[in-house]
Structure 1
């Protein structure tokens, strides 16, 4: 069992993209479910579904690829705040990922949000990861 479910999720997506898998299986937690919803809303994955196998719950993420040579839509994933070193930002210092071509996912008092939604709501929080 992993202690850092976000790093595990990002690593599984990164590895599945490298070998051009269409679907990747991730352990389901409230946090990974929220991140999967954000990835779907932002268009980085096509869909996800929840499954149960022998009393354990998983998420199946359907990854997106460009049609030519199946290049992955997700180019990079980077974990920012780690269990040993938490990174927090306020509403004035929200991160910008590659000139707004990517997104930063934050854990805020309003829930798990992207940097753009956090800016609209005027909240800061813990920077979980960057995706571009």
Structure 2
């Protein structure tokens, strides 16, 4: 996928949560890309679905106390002042932010 700092931070959060096995930045300057290797179990990808909360037209913010635990053992990705974190990490750090997506 085309590289951006924000996409790289989201991919790092997925890596910490165990959904990604490999994360590499390739290329130079304008042609930078992210190479992401998804984790598979029994020949099925760990990422079954994604739901995006925030859009450019509708941002959704949440305090840390209202961060919900997602369904089916997934994670919630949140953009906080401390960087892009999973819901579990944000609750531990006691920091809220913009809800980006739920991944299961």
Under a length normalisation based on structure 2, what TM-score does the superposition of the two structures give?
Answer: 0.92
**Distance change (3 Å), C-alpha of 1:127 and 1:54:** closer
Cα deviation for residue 75 of structure 1 reads 1.0
1:109 and 1:115 mapped to 2: Cα distance? 14
Gaps of 5+ in 1: 1-25
2:100 and 2:85 mapped to 1: Cα distance? 10
Q: Which residue of 2 aligns with 1:116?
A: 88
Higher-Rg structure is: 1
1:39 and 1:66 mapped to 2: Cα distance? 16
SS in 1 for 2:26: strand
CA RMSD of superposed structures (Å): 1.5
Per-residue Cα deviation, 1:27-84 (whole angstroms, up to 9, x for no partner): 11110000111111111011111111684100011122123xx111111111111111
Instruction: Check if 1:77 corresponds to 2:50.
Output: yes
Question: What is the correspondence of 1:1-132 to structure 2 with a 5 Å cutoff?
Answer: 26-52=1-27, 55-67=30-42, 70-98=43-71, 101-132=73-104
1:98 and 1:54 mapped to 2: Cα distance? 39
**Distance change (3 Å), C-alpha of 1:51 and 1:88:** same
Q: Give the total of aligned pairs.
A: 104
After TM superposition, which residue ranges in structure 1, 4 or more long, deviate above 2 angstroms? Answer: none
More strand by share: 2
1:71 and 1:28 mapped to 2: Cα distance? 26
